[in-house]
Amino acid sequence: MLLTDTHTHLYYETDNAKRVELIKRCSDNGINRLFLPNVDASSIPLVFSLVKSFPEICFPMLGLHPCSVKEGWEKELNVIKSAADQQKIVAIGEIGIDLYWDKTTLPEQILAFKQQIAWAKSLKLPIVIHCRDAFNEVFEVLQSEQDENLRGIFHCFSGTLEQAEKVISLGFYLGIGGVVTYKNAGLDKVVAQIALNHLVLETDSPYLTPVPYRGKPNESSYLIYVAQKVAELQQTDLETVAGITTANSRLIFGV
């Protein structure tokens, strides 16, 4: 069985011994593909340090997180673009719009989002989208930018069935994480109605820890609990979920 965590910030752990333990626990649970999104220029070295240490299982992506779109964001984008030009990456991300923390930067967030979509298209790479309290705004941008080169993942999808169908209609995949295990989140009912060939799995570690470890720091090895919940909702077995979602990740990232 091979499981893929399509979105993990495991690189935040900088102690080498602890990182080795984190990776070992992943391996023990069959999770041997980890995709690493940065969030700003300062996190680029952290991502590539982990990739260098574990090149067989860690894959880098680069982008400017919408919450990092602050004063001087254009310079930050230039640093990230330079890194993306110099080092092999598998996606542009995580990028998008976040209106939970700050609505005043929406115009700048849209500009940064569109700029990075253009990068992805020019590099023929997928995008990994962060969307929080901003589904309509993100969807409007994607519709305006839609062509045969626009593809990727709606990271941490937690929306309605109608929103899921809109995402799928654009050719994007839904990133399903720990929220699907939360009793009152409602995502379980949505996932039960979506075919597995539209889903990928993720942890977003160290955030959004699944049950039974909710309330504690998340880690990629906990992806097994997300996969088990998806298998239950899809009325299938863990191996089927692992096989299809990992195949989907290969289609998206090309590795």
| pTM reported for the whole predicted model | 0.97
Right CATH number for 3-253 from 3.20.20.140, 3.20.20.70, 3.40.50.11890, 3.40.50.970?
A: 3.20.20.140
Q: Which two tokens stand for residue 189?
A: 């009912």
Average pLDDT over residues 74-98: 95
Nearest to 213 by CA among 29, 46, 57, 61: 29
Q: In the prediction, which pLDDT does 164 show?
A: 98
Q: In the prediction, which pLDDT does 81 show?
A: 94
148 pLDDT band, cuts 50/70/90, is very high
Mean pLDDT score of the chain = 97
Q: In the prediction, which pLDDT does 205 show?
A: 98
Torsion over CA: 31, 37, 39, 41 (sign): positive
The domain limits of the chain are 3-253
Q: In the prediction, which pLDDT does 182 show?
A: 97
Q: In the prediction, which pLDDT does 207 show?
A: 97
Q: In the prediction, which pLDDT does 239 show?
A: 98
Q: Which two tokens stand for residue 99?
A: 């209106």
